[in-house]
Structure 1
């Protein structure tokens, strides 16, 4: 009897542990001067003017070479950032060539200029193939709130955003008339399938679509990704998210909630 009780405790204890195991979210690994540094150290280098260039994402070969040196500290290649630093001499030379006060400073590009559709525009209809073989037609989704997200397998900010979707968007709105359509642009089905399989270790396990020839993407925007278009029950765009700065997914969740309360 005692052995049975111990066995039951072990089985249920193991199940409880498995259910409550925290899924590790992706984090950027920052490497400068051939060593891993923190975000704080990166900010300090930026403030001191030592950053020469920043490379976000590396090849699989580069990633494997770094893994030989740093071991388990290196994650997926999309989440590795390589920082090229100036030497003291290079920094001094650059400082001496700073722009004079009377020189025109180039304007910062407005990301909204990349949009082909804007808030209060009717969303363009499309049919997208999902990686599970299903085909979704936007015109069939009237009455539902649709979050149309554009991404790619090589885009680290896109994948970071994906890691937040399950907890902050998919779970809270799973019982609502809501659907996420995340469309990979310019990539094959096999490539997208492979990346989504790898993303499961980060708790990312949802269906996505493909747009290999960018036909759907070209109806909505140009430029950088991620971009998300929040479409209401009547097919009208109510909110647009550009990039993935801190708090971006939280803002998306608030805007989705509004469409179920207004």
Structure 2
């Protein structure tokens, strides 16, 4: 029987600054009542000002982390974030096929850090598209990531809708196209499933404290899926969680600051 806490195995890179990556993923899943486990794909020397170094984890060790977690604890959902190289992407897909072939998968196609540093090697984009996207329950690109995946220039709501068919053609069961990079104060996220389309609209929050929003949102969605929520509800809850986390951000650092992941937690 599935663990009612919602077990999420997160396969992603580490952020030494604690705002994004594995650290944000663990916080988000935990603060939404799930149980977070990890397979770390890369280490970064990172803070709110940027990424100062990346060290990829050996592929065999990435596979070992997935194997031992799945053989002992199991998972109700997988969340994939930063994968760094084509080799790690192929390794992760094989490990999932071997040890988690039927587990739902939330794929966040992490390519660039908030400060602009690339987190995915250029030759790895095709591997991501052909190897992992077809296995995903939902893929969660922002507009720049969707532009890389489709070859389109995306800056308007009309551009977003034009990008949906090529994104769907990658093979994921659903696409959540995030419109945070749209101009103006009105923002749109678009969830497209085989059963239809859901629009999520919000006003822009004018703040520098948005580091890790993509990682956090994808992990919050994964927690909801792991807990048995329909995807539409999982996305709605995740978006509400992230919005409050931005609104109540602690104001740390001198660059792109982290969120308040723990706003759901009531101290004893």
User: Larger Cα Rg: Structure 1 or Structure 2?
Assistant: 1
* Structure 1 and Structure 2 fold alike (TM over 0.5): no
Q: TM class by shorter-chain length?
A: under 0.3
Q: TM-score, normalised by structure 2?
A: 0.24
